[in-house]
Structure 1
Amino acid sequence: MTMMLTFPRFLAPLCLLIVPCLGSAHDVWLQTDSPIVRTGENVQVDLRLGNHGNHHRDFKLAGRVTVDWVSLDHRAPDGTRNDLRKQLFATASAEKEGYWTTPIAVSQPGVHCVVQSLQRVMNHGRPVRSVRTAKTYFLVADSLDSASVDQPIHSQPDGLPFELVLQSCPISETVVGRPITVVVLHHGKPLPDVVVSFIPEGQELSGEFDPEYEVRADDRGEANFVPDVGRRYLIVAHHKAEDERTDEYDYTSYASTITVHVANQTPWAMGN
């Protein structure tokens, strides 16, 4: 901070631009307060920034993303989309603390998806194009005791430049002891040999590669993980594309996340 105050006055606006850009090197993720809500009630959706420590595997907050940089859509079961950005409010008064959040009143039964995307060119000594995408899901049901999943929208790609696509239902199949399967897509095609981390909230991964919580995608871009504890999980993958460069940036840095609630047991009579 002292160094910034000694800069010439004409550099101050530039500093204000650079500092927020550094935040976009972190990962962005979405999460809800519950994986299932009753029709007509609210679900709380958070837009969070962090996961920067421990080789991008700590599931901890690290600032607040600039809303103007992101697209944030709520996708209903019938395919309609709603831009959530104008509904967001901050949870902290300091500009870069806390996170963004908003309640969504939901009236359409079925599986809902929230999708985020961000693309920025920033400079860490080298100009880098940073692409960050995120998803989360929740189920709306008339009765919490007899909820059902009729349309598996989770397995449909969203056409993002880099994304994780769940092959397991994020509602009925994210249960302790059952495998969670994701596919890594780069420009719509499976990307093999990418490390996918499955981070339980509150758990710190060890080493450069933690075999207990990390899986390398196979030739089909597929990664499988069996959770052994029920809690919220951050699923995250990164990819550095040295060949994706222009005169404006030297390479492209990708990150994609999905946040799921893993239950100790399936608490509802789920149908398909």
Structure 2
Amino acid sequence: MKTAIFYFAFAISSLLGAMRSHAHDTWLEAGAATVPVGEYTYVDLMLGNHGNDHRDFKLASKITLDPCTLSVVDPTGSTLDLKSAITDMGSAEKEGFWTAKYVFAKPGLHRFVHTLDTLHRTTRAIKSAKTFVMATDGVGNSIDSANPDLCHGFGLELVLKTPFATIEAGRPIELHVMRSGKPFPEARVTFVPRGTTLAEEFDSDYERISDSEGHVQFVPKEGNMLFAIVHHMAEGESGDGYENTHYSAAMVIQVPNKAINLR
């Protein structure tokens, strides 16, 4: 009897551990939404243990860097690796976060991109994350409309459809949920303003379901850091050493009270 109870408890513990591993989210934060050309920002790679399906904006532990990428796509479409310049901001192995300094040489929208591909027990975790910074030159030159967000074809991805310079509190932000480069309908996208903890289950104030073309809209009530996250568990998508694949895609947008003035 004791043996049976032990194995039952072990199985439940393993299941809960696997569930928790699926709920670890990585994301990127930048020091400012706009930066003059020639100045710098720090881009932070964060990790949270969101066993409650990311109902908050809290850090937990620090991601292992080996399976991660961190890069920036500048307004010309050129990609620069930032992982080689990354710095550990924790005093212990699992504390703090990673950060990288970047100097803006060109005006326009800069897209910071992170990916992760790793195995956890019998599940493969594939993640992507984005954040944005507009480099301004004091002239404008329609630099925002010329540099929209890109779809990279990740396993799961959020693409910003609203022009970055038009984003402000009280106006809709539109995202496109993409699955391997194709629209992903009926995906649950959670929007978390910093300092807000969402209700349990489905929170209709902060969660949306993508339409038949993979689009979702959310209207931020105030200027704040806004985190968007979507998950997808591909049961049976297996390979060498794993039985299922868990996808997630994150995006952090710094929502101003008033839209950016490019001039």
Task: Report the TM-score range of the alignment, normalised by the length of the smaller protein.
Answer: 0.7 to 0.9
Q: Which amino acid aligns with 1:131?
A: I
Contact 1:35 1:137 in 2 (8 A): yes
**Residue pairs, 1:41-80, within 5 angstroms:** 41-50=39-48, 52-80=50-78
Contact 1:141 1:147 in 2 (8 A): no
Q: Which amino acid aligns with 2:159?
A: V
Deviations 1:49-103 (A, max 9, x none): 1151432231211111111111111111111111111111111211111101121
- Hey, what does 2:7 align to over in structure 1? none
Distance 1:267 1:192 in 2: 31
Contact 1:144 1:268 in 2 (8 A): no
The TM-score, its normalising length taken from structure 1, stands at 0.84
Q: Does the C-alpha gap of structure 1 residues 267 and 182 become closer, same or farther in structure 2, counting only changes over 3 Å?
A: closer
- What are the ranges of 5 or more consecutive residues in structure 1 without an aligned counterpart? 1-18
- What are the ranges of 5 or more consecutive residues in structure 2 without an aligned counterpart? 1-16
Q: Once the 2 structures are TM-superposed, how far is the Cα of residue 24 of structure 1 from its aligned partner? A: 7.6
Deviations 1:88-131 (A, max 9, x none): 111121111110112111111111011111111111xxx00111
Q: Once the 2 structures are TM-superposed, how far is the Cα of residue 23 of structure 1 from its aligned partner? A: 6.5
The TM-score, its normalising length taken from structure 2, stands at 0.87
- Hey, what does 1:192 align to over in structure 2? 185
- Hey, what does 1:8 align to over in structure 2? none
Distance 2:242 2:155 in 1: 17
Which of 202, 211, 226 is the matching residue for 1:233?
226
Q: Does the C-alpha gap of structure 1 residues 147 and 64 become closer, same or farther in structure 2, counting only changes over 3 Å?
A: farther
Which of 108, 117, 125 is the matching residue for 1:130?
125
Q: RMSD over aligned Cα, in angstroms?
A: 2.0
What percentage of residue pairs aligned between the two structures are identical?
Answer: 37
Which of 108, 119, 134 is the matching residue for 1:121?
119
SS at match of 2:66: helix
Q: Once the 2 structures are TM-superposed, how far is the Cα of residue 191 of structure 1 from its aligned partner? A: 1.2
Q: Which amino acid aligns with 2:166?
A: E
Say which is worse superposed, 209-218 or 135-144, in terms of deviation.
Answer: 135-144
Q: Does the C-alpha gap of structure 1 residues 247 and 40 become closer, same or farther in structure 2, counting only changes over 3 Å?
A: closer
Distance 1:150 1:191 in 2: 25
- Hey, what does 1:216 align to over in structure 2? 209
Deviations 1:220-257 (A, max 9, x none): 11111111111000010000111412352121111100
Which of 29, 33, 46 is the matching residue for 1:31?
29
Which of 90, 99, 102 is the matching residue for 2:100?
102
Which of 141, 157, 173 is the matching residue for 2:136?
141
- Hey, what does 1:88 align to over in structure 2? 86
SS at match of 1:172: helix
Q: Which amino acid aligns with 1:58?
A: D
SS at match of 2:165: coil
Distance 2:162 2:145 in 1: 14
